[in-house]
Amino acid sequence: MSRAEVRSLCGELGITPEWLKRRALPFQVEARHLAPVGLGTDGRDKLLHRPAARAWLKMRAAAAKEGIELQLVSAFRSYAFQAALIRSKLQRGVPLDEVLCVNAPPGYSEHHLGHAVDIGSSDCGPLDEVFEQTAAFGWLTQHAGSYGFVMSYPRGNAQGFLYEPWHWCWCASLAAKQDSTPDDDED
């Protein structure tokens, strides 16, 4: 789907060019080379961009070794899937401004890149701010950067999204920096 088609899709949802300009979200290209990373909490196969997939699987395994379960709630999303999420909320009567505090417009979600994961814990429901009180969140706060992941939407984030302690994005530049430093576990 071209940028023009994505802009048209946004228009169909009531997302104006002025809104896009005001929020200054970067356009995100849909990933093409995806790898499976297991089932999500919804029972569906989840995919990530290959390097992000490798990092996610390593990070999840490292957490598991310490007795921490990182549940995969969401990963790659296509433009069409993102639009469907927004349409569904609008059809339920949620105002567009409220929806856009939680969901990025199609073409502007980190999930399109195949780099973002929404992570859950059996200690709370999915996509709940209470996630910040779980052992999984504590582990991520201490260790996710070692695998190239950062929490994208802390409180008061510049992008205008609500606080999302569950949303973590793999950053190639951070991962490269981590790969270039010696591992503490190596002799």
Q: In degrees, to the nearest 5, what angle opens at C-alpha 3 toward C-alphas 165 and 91?
A: 60
Total structural domains within the chain: 2
Which residue segment(s) compose the domain that 13 sits in? 1-30+77-111
Q: In what order do the strands lie in the sheet with 116-120?
A: 71-74, 116-120, 164-170, 149-153
- Asked if 46 contacts 72 with a C-beta cutoff of 8 angstroms, the reply is yes
CA–CA distance, 169 with 115 (Å, rounded to integer): 5
Q: Are residues 102 and 139 in the same domain?
A: no
Contact yes or no for 151/165 (Cβ under 8 A): yes
Q: Does any domain span residue 187? A: no
- Per-residue model confidence (pLDDT) at position 183: 43
Q: Across the strands, what pairs with 149? A: 170
Is 124 within the bounds of a domain?
Answer: yes
126 and 64 together in one domain: yes
Instruction: Quote the pLDDT of residue 178.
Output: 64
**Tens-digit pLDDT profile for residues 122-147:** 999 999 999 999 999 999 999 999 99
Q: Indicate left, alpha or beta for 70 from its phi (over 0: left) and psi (-120 to 50: alpha).
A: beta
Check: pTM over 0.85? Answer yes or no: yes
- Residue 68: name the closest of 76, 60, 57 by CA: 60
Q: Assess whether 84 and 144 both reside in one domain.
A: no
